[in-house]
Amino acid sequence: MKRLVLTPKHSLNRRSLVVGALQLGFAGALAARLRHLQITQADQYRLLADENRINIRLIAPERGEIYDRNGVFLARNEQSYRITLVKEDAGDVRELLLQLAQLVTLSAEDIERSVLETQRSAPFLPITIIDRVSWEDIAKVAINAPSLPGITPEVGLSRHYPLGPNFAHIVGYVGPVSDRDLNRAEDPDPLLRIPRFQIGKVGVEAKYEEDLRGRAGAKHVEVNAQGRVMRELERRGGNPGRNIQITVDAGLQNYVQARLGDESASAVVMDCNSGDILAIASSPSYDPNKFVRGISFDDYGLLRDNDRRPLASKTVQDAYPPGSTFKMVTALAGLEDGILDPNARVFCPGHLDVSNRKFHCWKTGGHGQVNLEQSLRESCDVFYYDLALKLGIEKISAMATKLGIGVKHNIPMSAETTGLSPNKDWKLINRGSEWMIGDTVNASIGQGFVLSSPLQLAVMTARIASGKNI
């Protein structure tokens, strides 16, 4: 038999056959894989592609407005101008901002904040340098636009408080979301993460934040690998915030605030039938519009360190010894108990001896014989010393609580104080000592441990006058 000899030509043909078979097998496997990807996993990969290509951007809703009982606006949104900067067009950001500061008012704090924001943001995203800019400043920027690359004036909405300081303690103000705000929220609204989004910080703005904020809209945008928006695909509108109406009368509030002037004082006006608060003023006050624009450290320091405490509402945040106004509480406690006969007379020699201690009446010579009506009209201290010794502190304290002393009334203002309607248990727990008979004597005329806010005194008086639990 003739033996087959493998020449180089024959060897090459065999290798080609083997390689061809392998390539055909690989091609078949690849085709099968492609078919699997195209048919079996098409939806999954399409979703992944969309996730890389399509972004959802939130659209901030218009904030609800606040107005008084007659429809006078106390907080509203006004068209305003702002100056923005895009880092990738700006070159040296700090030098550019220093140049801008020669045209418009731009503090060193604004410059440092803006530089920091550009470092944190994508280079193609605009950041706000100054908000609520005057038309004159916008014109200056527009004229010098060729020498201010990356700087652009824009139109938007800003919060405005038309009555300023007269309603600062009531309405409050809005400000940018802080890390503390985010940490405090159990389930933070995605709106809170929008750069420079503002929320209520104090007052009605804070109390009704969720109502005033509204619900975000959204837009679907196509972005490239760097996150730059290429085009908008779809837009869905949100819901604007709800308007809030309060019981205060703007005209009366302005009048009361004007009467207080620059004194360190407060006043509350209530409707005794409905319980509506018609005016609630505290002086001195501050301009809430400064906080919306972004108050400087120096200006805030002047407010914070002022001994007359303009940032605090004395009507609800501070508590003071109520003094002789509290005598009505002691009198009502006696009448309710039945121990006080309104026509019975008590002799006031100008003092009362209690446990070897002399408690004086404000009138050194005394008032002589006085009944309930006379004791209130002439504010006789001894009459109430005597009544308190018969009643005891527990009944006086219970009546004070019933009339609104030592309890919060949950009005939409910040940091409402509880005040204090003391009794034996309170002193033992908080002072670590027994209640003394002298404590009862002092409490009977609104001194000692008794503390009340001006609002609580107004509620007390309104409840006495109307007989209603308002």
* Residue 417 binned pLDDT confidence (cut-offs 50, 70, 90): very high
Q: Which of 46-60, 164-178, 238-252, 269-283 has the lowest mean pLDDT?
A: 46-60
Sign of the CA dihedral 439, 443, 444, 445? positive
Mean pLDDT of 92-109: 90
Instruction: Provide the 10 A C-beta neighbour count for residue 173.
Output: 23
| Rounded Cα gap, residues 254 and 259, in angstroms | 9
Quote the pLDDT of residue 16: 46
- Answer for the pair 396, 329: CB distance below 8 angstroms, yes or no: yes
Q: What burial class does residue 242 get, using C-beta atoms within 10 Å of its C-beta: 0-12 exposed, 13-18 middle, 19+ buried?
A: middle
Residue written as token pair 């500061």:
101
Average pLDDT, the chain: 87
| Rounded Cα gap, residues 59 and 83, in angstroms | 20
**H-state helical runs in 36-107:** 42-53, 87-90, 93-100
| Rounded Cα gap, residues 420 and 393, in angstroms | 13
Q: Which of 27-31, 199-203, 346-350, 434-438 has the lowest mean pLDDT?
A: 27-31
DSSP code of 123? Answer: T
User: pTM here?
Assistant: 0.79
Mean pLDDT of 184-190: 79
DSSP code of 36? Answer: I
Of the candidates 195, 237, 194, 220, the one whose C-alpha atom is nearest the C-alpha of residue 55 is 220
User: At residue 437, does pLDDT exceed 70?
Assistant: yes
| Rounded Cα gap, residues 241 and 237, in angstroms | 13
SS3 assignment, position 2 = coil
Quote the pLDDT of residue 134: 86
Both tokens assigned to 152: 């652009």
Q: Would strands 73-86 and 66-67 be described as parallel, antiparallel, or unpaired?
A: antiparallel
| Rounded Cα gap, residues 358 and 139, in angstroms | 76
Sign of the CA dihedral 268, 212, 60, 202? positive
- Answer for the pair 285, 257: CB distance below 8 angstroms, yes or no: yes
Of the candidates 456, 406, 403, the one whose C-alpha atom is nearest the C-alpha of residue 277 is 456
User: At residue 65, does pLDDT exceed 90?
Assistant: yes
Residues noted as catalytic: 324
Domains of the chain plus CATH, in order, are: 58-245 (3.90.1310.10), 323-466 (3.40.710.10)
User: At residue 387, does pLDDT exceed 80?
Assistant: yes
Mean pLDDT of 266-275: 96
Both tokens assigned to 170: 């009531």
| Rounded Cα gap, residues 104 and 143, in angstroms | 13
43 vs 370, more confident: 370
**H-state helical runs in 305-406:** 327-337, 372-378, 381-391, 393-402
